Structure 1
Amino acid sequence: MTMNTTMGTGGDMKLTSIIRPILSAEVHDALVMFFICVGLFVTIAGIFSNLLVIVTYTKIGFSDTINISYSALGISDLSTSVLRYWATMCYIFVLTNADVPFDPSSVTVTTAFFPGQGFEKTTAFLTAFIALERCPCVQFPLHVKRIVTKKITITSIVIIFLFTFIPSNFIHMVFPLKWVFSPVRNRTILAMVPLQTPLRYIIQRALLAYYGTVLHFTALIAVWICTVFLAVGLKRTAKIRKDNFRSSSAQQNTQRERRVIKTVFLLAVTYLACSTPTAITLLVPHFVPEFDTSRGLERISRVSHLLSGLMTQINSSANLFIFIYMGSKFRETFLTLFGKKSLELPKNV
Structure 2
Amino acid sequence: MLNQTSLKTSMKTDSDLPYLRELNIALGVLAPVWPAIIFLGLLSNTTNILVFIKAGVRDSVTILLLSLSISDMCFLILITPTVSTNIIFHYKPRWVWALDHSITHNLLYWPAFTFYDYSSYISVFLGVTRCACVAMPLHFKSTFTKRRTVVGVVCLFCFAVLFHLPVLTIFSIGWRKDPVTNVSIPVAVVSGRQTMVKINDLLNRNTLPWISFITMIGCVALLSFKLFQASKIRSLPASGDKAAAKSDHDNKLSPKDVHVVQSVVLVCSIFIIAQLPALLYSTVRVVNPEFDQGGRLVKLFGVFFCISLTCSLLNATVNIFVYYNYNNKYRSAFRALLNLT
- How does the TM-score come out when normalised to structure 2? 0.82
Q: Cα distance 1:87–1:119, how it changes in 2: closer, same or farther (>3 A)?
A: same
Map of 1:225 onto structure 2: 218
Identify unmatched segments of 5+ residues in structure 2: 1-16, 239-243
Please tell me the residue identity of whatever aligns with 2:177. F
Instruction: Tell me which of 149, 152, 162 is aligned to 2:148.
Output: 152
Is the contact between residue 227 and residue 268 of structure 1 (CA under 8 Å) also seen in structure 2? yes
Residue equivalent to 1:311: 311
Contact 1:107 1:191 in 2 (8 A): no
Deviation sequence 1:217-236 (CA, Å, 0-9, x none):
22112111111111122222
Distance (whole Å) between structure 2 residues aligned to residue 165 and residue 32 of structure 1: 31
Equivalent-residue separation in structure 1 for 2:83 and 2:153 (angstroms): 28
Cα shift at 1:74:
0.4
Q: Which has the higher contact order (CA 8 A, sep 6+)?
A: 2
Match of 1:32 in 2: 27
SS of residue matched to 1:179: strand
What fraction of aligned residue pairs are identical, expressed as a percent? 22
- Normalized per residue, the structure richer in helix is 1
Distance 1:233 1:183, change over 3 A: farther
Matches within 5 A, 1:170-181: 170-171=166-167, 173-181=169-177
Which of 188, 195, 209 aligns to 1:192? It is: 188
Match of 2:324 in 1: 324
Q: Which residue of 2 aligns with 1:53?
A: 48
Q: Assess if the C-alpha contact under 8 Å between 1:142 and 1:253 holds in 2.
A: no
2:274 partner letter: C
State yes or no: 1:102 paired with 2:95: no
Is the 8 Å Cα contact of residues 101 and 190 (structure 1) preserved in structure 2? no
The whole-number CA distance in structure 2 between the counterparts of 1:121 and 1:86 is 18
Deviation at 1:288, TM superposition (A): 3.8
Give distance in 1, aligned partners of 2:269 and 2:232. 22
Hey, what does 1:344 align to over in structure 2?
none
How has the CA–CA distance of structure 1 residues 63 and 101 changed in structure 2, closer, same or farther, with 3 Å as cutoff? same
**Secondary structure of the equivalent of 1:70?**
helix
2:241 corresponds to which residue? none
So what's the TM-score if we normalise by structure 1? 0.80
Cα distance in 1 for residues equivalent to 2:293 and 2:216: 29
Worse-superposed segment, 279-288 or 326-335: 279-288
1:294 paired with 2:294, answer yes
Q: Do the aligned partners of residues 223 and 43 (structure 1) sit closer, same or farther apart at CA in structure 2, a change above 3 Å counting?
A: same
Conserved in 1, the CA contact under 8 Å of 2:172 and 2:188? Answer: yes
Task: Give the CA deviation at 1:172.
Answer: 5.0
2:161 maps to 1:165: yes
Q: 1:64 to 1:172 in 2, by over 3 A?
A: closer
